[in-house]
C-alpha cells in the first residue's frame, strides 16, 4: 500500500518505518527541513532500540522516503496517517492546531479517495473536527472527492516500540465505514499472522480507548506510590506488599512498582487531557484528578528524603544523579522525575553531577539547559567522585548490579537514595550504606 505519515516525531517515525518494513511504500513528511535532511542522511533524532537499523535498511531499499513536500505525499498515497504533536494546553486540554492544519492540507491536496487516520493521541470527537476541516477544503475546491476518517490509537512503549508495533497485542481501529475498516484490516494483517488482534469499533470509542488505557496504567502507578507512602508511615515494607498483592492474578505485577513518579510524553498529558474532557462534559473525574495530584507530589519524595538527611540548606553539597530519562531505553525527558528532583536540590544550593547513557544531550540542551549547578559525565562511577550521596532516578540495566565497594571508595559519604527501589535495604546496610528507599 502507498502510505503517507505526516509528522516524524516518535509515533510517526516508528509507525512509518514499521509499515515500510512490511513492504509498503511509505513517505514520512515533516515541515522541519533540517530534520528531514538528517533523516535522509541516516541521522535519527530519537533513541529507540532497533529503530536506526530499520530506518537505514528501508531507506536504502526505497520503501521509506522522507520529504517536506506534503502536497506530493498526499496526492500520491491512499492512506494518510496524522501523527503530529498534540501538546498540552494551559488548561490541560490537547492542542489540536497541528492535527487540524494537516487535515486542511489533506483537503487541499488529495486527488482520489483516501483513508485519513488519526494516529496522534486526540480527545474524543477529534475525528469529527478532522472530517469537517477536510470537507471544508474540498467544498472550497468544488470537489466531490470522498474520504473516510479513522481513529487508530498507538500503544507503543518507549524503549520497546519496534517490538510493540511489529508484534502488537491489539490493533484498535475506529471507523464508521466498512470500506475504511477493511482497508485498515488489510494494512495490519501482516502484523497479525499468528493471531488476529484486530479490534474494530466506532470512532469515539477508539479515541477513548487510548486515554482510558493510559489513565488506567497511570492510576496503578499512583495507587502503588500512595500505598508506599502509607507503608512508610505505618512501618510496613511496600516491596513485600507488592509481592503479596501482585501474586493475585486479578492484580498482577505490571505497573505496581513504587517509585518517584511517572513521566514521559503520554501519561501526564493524557491523564490531564481526559480529565479536561470529562469536565467539559459536566463530569468531575475525581480519580483522575487524584492520580495526577499523587504523581505531582511523588516527584518531590526523593528530594524530601535528601532534605531530611542533609537539611534544607545544601550549599557545598554535591549529589550524583544516576539516570535522567523518564524511563530506561529512551532519551526522552519529557515530564521526567529527574527534572523535579534536580531543580529541588539546586534551589537549596546543591551541585549535581549527572549521568545517563542516552539522555545527556536532552538535559544539557533542553530540559536543564544553562544550569551551571548541573555537571555531566560519561560514566556512572565518574559521577560519584567526592559526592555526598547518589540518587538513582532511572532504572537503566547498568545500574542494577554496580560495584558497591568501588562506589564507597569514590563517594564522600556512602549515602544512597533509591528512587526505584532496586536493592535490598538489609543487604545495603550490611555493605555499609545509608540507604533510603520509597515506602520502606
* Residues classed as catalytic: 266
Report how far apart, in Å, the C-alpha atoms of 246 and of each of 127, 220, 240, 280, 425 are.
38, 12, 10, 36, 20
Q: How far apart are CA 439 and CA 27, in angstroms?
A: 49
DSSP secondary structure string for all residues of 327-346:
STT----TT-HHHHHHHHHH
**Residues 6+ positions from 181 with CB-CB distance below 8 Å:** 150, 173, 175, 200
Q: Count CB atoms within 10 A of the CB of residue 193.
A: 8
Residue 13, Ramachandran bin (φ over 0: left; ψ between -120 and 50: alpha; else beta): alpha
302: its cell numbers: 526523593
Q: How far apart are CA 200 and CA 369, in angstroms?
A: 45
DSSP secondary structure string for all residues of 399-437:
GSS--HHHHHHHSSS-EEEETT--S-HHHHHHTT-EEE-
Q: Count CB atoms within 10 A of the CB of residue 303.
A: 23
Q: How far apart are CA 214 and CA 37, in angstroms?
A: 34
146: its cell numbers: 470522498
Angle at 91 between CA 130 and CA 100, to 5 degrees: 15
Angle at 242 between CA 241 and CA 245, to 5 degrees: 85
Which of 105, 86, 88, 94 has the alpha carbon at shortest distance from 29?
A: 105
55 and 13 Cβ atoms separated by less than 8 Å: yes
Q: Count CB atoms within 10 A of the CB of residue 344.
A: 18
89: its cell numbers: 494546553
Which of 196, 141, 143 has the alpha carbon at shortest distance from 173?
A: 196
118: its cell numbers: 488519526
Amino acid at each position: 500500500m502507498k502510505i503517507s505519515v505526516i509528522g516524524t516525531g516518535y509515533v510517526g517515525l516508528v509507525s512509518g518505518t514499521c509499515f515500510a518494513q512490511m513492504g509498503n511504500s511509505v513517505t514520512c513528511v515533516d515541515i522541519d527541513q533540517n530534520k528531514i535532511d538528517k533523516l535522509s542522511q541516516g541521522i535519527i533524532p530519537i533513541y529507540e532500540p532497533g529503530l536506526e537499523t530499520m530506518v537505514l535498511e528501508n531507506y536504502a531499499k526505497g520503501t521509506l522516503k522522507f520529504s517536506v513536500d506534503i502536497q506530493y505525499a498526499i496526492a500520491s498515497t491512499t492512506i494518510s496517517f496524522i501523527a503530529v504533536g498534540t501538546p498540552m494546553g494551559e488548561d490541560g486540554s490537547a492542542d489540536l492546531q497541528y492535527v487540524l492544519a494537516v487535515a486542511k492540507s489533506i483537503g487541499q491536496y488529495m486527488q482520489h479517495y483516501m483513508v485519513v487516520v488519526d494516529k496522534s493521541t486526540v480527545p474524543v470527537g477529534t475525528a469529527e473536527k478532522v472530517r469537517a476541516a477536510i470537507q471544508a477544503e474540498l467544498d472550497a475546491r468544488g470537489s466531490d472527492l470522498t474520504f473516510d476518517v479513522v481513529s487508530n490509537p498507538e500503544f507503543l512503549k518507549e524503549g520497546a516500540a519496534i517490538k510493540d508495533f511489529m508484534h502488537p497485542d491489539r490493533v484498535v481501529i475506529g471507523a464508521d465505514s466498512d470500506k475504511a475498516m477493511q482497508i485498515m484490516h488489510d494494512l495490519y494483517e501482516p502484523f497479525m499472522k499468528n493471531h488476529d488482534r484486530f479490534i474494530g469499533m466506532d470512532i469515539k470509542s477508539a479515541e477513548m480507548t487510548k486515554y482510558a488505557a493510559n489513565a488506567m496504567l497511570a492510576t496503578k502507578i499512583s495507587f502503588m506510590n500512595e500505598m508506599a507512602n502509607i507503608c512508610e508511615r505505618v512501618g510496613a515494607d511496600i516491596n513485600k506488599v507488592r509481592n503479596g498483592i501482585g501474586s493475585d492474578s486479578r492484580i498482577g505485577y505490571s505497573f505496581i512498582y513504587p517509585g518517584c513518579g511517572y513521566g514521559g510524553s503520554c501519561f501526564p498529558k493524557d491523564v490531564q487531557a481526559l480529565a479536561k474532557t470529562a469536565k467539559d462534559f459536566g463530569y468531575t473525574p475525581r480519580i483522575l484528578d487524584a492520580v495526577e495530584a499523587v504523581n505531582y507530589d511523588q516527584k518531590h519524595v526523593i528530594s524530601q528524603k535528601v532534605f531530611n538527611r542533609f537539611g534544607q540548606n545544601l550549599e557545598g553539597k554535591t549529589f550524583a544523579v544516576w539516570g535522567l530519562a523518564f524511563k530506561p531505553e529512551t532519551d526522552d525527558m519529557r515530564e521526567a522525575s529527574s527534572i523535579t528532583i534536580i531543580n529541588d536540590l539546586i534551589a537549596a544550593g546543591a551541585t549535581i553531577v549527572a549521568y545517563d547513557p542516552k539522555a545527556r544531550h536532552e538535559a544539557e540542551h533542553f530540559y536543564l539547559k544553562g544550569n551551571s549547578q548541573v555537571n555531566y559525565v560519561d560514566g556512572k562511577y565518574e559521577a560519584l567522585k567526592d559526592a555526598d550521596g547518589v540518587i538513582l532516578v532511572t532504572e537503566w540495566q547498568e545500574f542494577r548490579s554496580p560495584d558497591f565497594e568501588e562506589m564507597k571508595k569514590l563517594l564522600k559519604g556512602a549515602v544512597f537514595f533509591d528512587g526505584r527501589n532496586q536493592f535490598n535495604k538489609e543487604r545495603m546496610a550490611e555493605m555499609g550504606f545509608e540507604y533510603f528507599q520509597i515506602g520502606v
